[in-house]
Structure 1
Amino acid sequence: MKLLVQGDDYGFTKGVMWGMLEGIDHGVLTCSGLFANVPNAELAAAQMRLRPDFCWGIDFNLVAGPCCADPKKIPHFVDASGNFIRSNITVKDPRWQSEAGRREMFPYEECYLEVRSQFDRYVQLVGKKPGYLNGHSINHENLTEAIRQLSKEEKIPYTNDILQEFNFVWAVDISGNEATTAKVFDPMNQVKRNPLKFFMEHAEEYLQHEYVFAAGHPGYVDAELFAQTSLSIERCRDLEMVLSPVLKKWIDENPVELISYRDLIEKEGEK
C-alpha cells in the first residue's frame, strides 16, 4: 500500500505554519501546500527553502485574507479592502446552491487571474514552481477549471486529477464536520473529532488498496485562526495524527510506503 499524507493551508497563520513543520520534520506528512496570499507567506516560504527535498505545493485560497491580483479586477469575491469574502458568508448566498449561481459568484476570468497571481507570488517567494496545485475550502466549477488551465500551462498536476488517475481511496472522515461542509464553528465537535482513531479503525481495510490518501489541516491553534476560519481547533487533532507513534508503528509493521505527488509524477513519466 502506498500512503500519501497531505497537510493543507501551510502558512495560514504562524501557529499553522509551525505545527505543519513539526508534522513534516517529526511526523508522516509527505506534502503540504502554501497559502501564497497570506501575510505569513514570506516567513513560511523561508522555512520551505530550508526543506528543499520535501514535496511542496500551492493551495489556491479564494476565501481568506488578501487577494494577490488587483482587487478592482476581481470584484465578485473580494470586499472593499481587497480581502476575500469568507466561505461561511459565500455558502449562505442562495446562488451558491446552483452551478449557474456559483459561476456568477466566481466568474472564470476572475478566478483564473487570482489563481495565476497566487502562483506567480509563490514562485517569487519560494524561488521555484510548486510541485502540485490544489484548491482550498470551497471548490467550485470555475475555480476548478482555472486550476486545470494553469495545470496545463505550467505542466504541474492538479491534485483532484492525479488522485483520480491513480484511483486513490480516501482515508478522510468529514462526517458531521460542519467546519468543512457548512462552514459552521462548533468547538465541541472539533474537540471531539479524532482522525487518528478513524484511521486506525479502518487500517486493515486500507491495506487492501494500492493507493490511499489521508489529508487534513495539521497545525497549532492560535488566536489568529479564529478570526479567519471556522476550521480551527480540530487542526491540533490532525497534527496529533501525523505525529502519532501509533500510526508510525503501524506503518513500520505493515507493507506501507509513504509517497508524495512527486513519486506519482515520476511514475506517470515512466508510462
Structure 2
Amino acid sequence: MSKKLIVSADDFGFSKGYNYGAVNAYREGIVTVLSLMSNMEAAIHGVELAKKEVPEANLVVHTNFVQGKPVSNPDLIPSLVDQNGEFYRSYKWKGEDESDQKCVGDIVVTAEDCYKETAAQIRRFKELTGHLPNHFEGHSVINKNVCKGFHQAAEVFQIHCMTEPEVETDRWYPVHEIMTGNPMAMEILNRGCTPQDFIEDRFGILTSPFEFNIIHLHPGYVDAYILDHSSLTTARCRDLETACDPAVRQWLRDHDVELVDFTAIYK
C-alpha cells in the first residue's frame, strides 16, 4: 500500500503577504491544499489570488475561532466573542488539562456556538468560491466542545472534517492527522520544518499504518499583519522554503508517497 499524503497550507487568508507565500508553496512546492480562514479580511484576496494563479487548487475551510471577527452575528455566539464582538484569543480559553500552555484563561466555549460559527464560515466560503468545501478543520485550538460543533457541521453539510475521532461514514476514507500525539511534529510546527525533517522522517510518514495522512504547514511570507497578530513568524518562512525544496519532493517520490488533496478521500 503506497502512502498518500495531503499537505495543507493552513491560515490561507490570514494576510495578503501570507497568501502570496502559500500560493507559491502550492505552485512550486509540495502543498496540495489551501486551507482558508473565510472570516478574515484577507480571505477575499486569497480566493482571488488562487483563482488567478492556481485555479486547480483544492481550497478548504480553516475554521477560525480565535482571530478577528466572526462571520456570525456576535450576539448569536456569546461564548466565542468579547464585548467588542471579536473572537477571544486562544490564551483566554480555558484549557482542558493543566499541561496546556496555550489556553490559560477561563473562557469556556459552547458546542452550540461552535457549530453556528462553523456553519457560517462554511457558508461564507461558498459565497467567496461559488461552491461548498470538501473538507474543514480547526485553527489553533481544539477541545471537546469544538469537536462536538464540528461533528454536527460535518453531518449537516456532509463534508469531511478533521476531529478526534473522525465522523464515521461510508462517503470517505479516514485521514490520519500525523501530528497528533507526536511531540517531535509539534516541535517542528513551532520552529518551522526543514528538508532534514522529511529525510529523517521525523513526521512519521513512512511508519504510519494509515493510507491517507495529512501534514499541516504554514508556508508564507511574513508581513506586518502577521507580526502583529501571530506568534508564528519565522516558522512560516522556513515552511515555505522547505515546501519548495526539490529534495523534499524527491524524497517523497523515492519512498512511494503520493501527494493528493481531499478530493482523493471521497469514495
Do both proteins adopt the same fold according to a TM-score greater than 0.5, normalized to the shorter chain? yes
| 2:124 partner SS | helix
| CA shift for structure 1 position 245 | 1.4
Q: How does 1:183-222 map to 2 (within 5 A)?
A: 190=191, 193-202=192-201, 206-207=205-206, 209=208, 210-222=211-223
How many residues align? The count is 251
Separation in 2, partners of 1:225, 1:111: 25
Asked if 1:57 is matched to 2:65, the reply is no
Given that 1:65 and 1:228 are in contact with CA atoms closer than 8 Å, whether structure 2 keeps it comes out as: no
Task: Provide Cα deviations, 1:220-240, integer angstroms capped at 9, x if missing partner.
Answer: 111211222212221111112
Given that 2:221 and 2:237 are in contact with CA atoms closer than 8 Å, whether structure 1 keeps it comes out as: yes
Separation in 1, partners of 2:119, 2:34: 19
| CA shift for structure 1 position 206 | 3.5
Match of 1:168 in 2: 176
Q: 1:13 to 1:248 in 2, by over 3 A?
A: same
Match of 2:146 in 1: 143
Match of 2:27 in 1: 25
Separation in 1, partners of 2:92, 2:119: 24
Match of 2:69 in 1: 66
Separation in 2, partners of 1:58, 1:149: 15
Instruction: Give the aligned residue type for 1:202.
Output: D
| CA shift for structure 1 position 165 | 5.5
Given that 1:103 and 1:141 are in contact with CA atoms closer than 8 Å, whether structure 2 keeps it comes out as: no
| CA shift for structure 1 position 177 | 5.6
Match of 2:101 in 1: none
| CA shift for structure 1 position 97 | 3.7
Match of 1:260 in 2: 261
Instruction: Give the aligned residue type for 2:220.
Output: G
| 1:105 partner SS | coil
TM-score by length of 1: 0.81
Instruction: Give the aligned residue type for 1:228.
Output: H
Q: 1:167 to 1:62 in 2, by over 3 A?
A: closer
| CA shift for structure 1 position 205 | 6.3
Separation in 1, partners of 2:67, 2:203: 38
Separation in 2, partners of 1:178, 1:80: 34
Match of 2:87 in 1: 84
Q: 1:104 to 1:204 in 2, by over 3 A?
A: closer
Separation in 2, partners of 1:17, 1:41: 9
TM-score by length of 2: 0.82
Q: How does 1:108-123 map to 2 (within 5 A)?
A: 108-123=111-126
| 1:137 partner SS | coil
| 1:234 partner SS | helix
Separation in 2, partners of 1:89, 1:102: 4
Gaps of 5+ in 2: 99-103
Separation in 1, partners of 2:146, 2:42: 24
Let me know the Cα RMSD of the aligned residues: 3.1
| 1:6 partner SS | strand
- Range with bigger deviation, 194-203 or 10-19: 194-203
Q: 1:132 to 1:177 in 2, by over 3 A?
A: closer
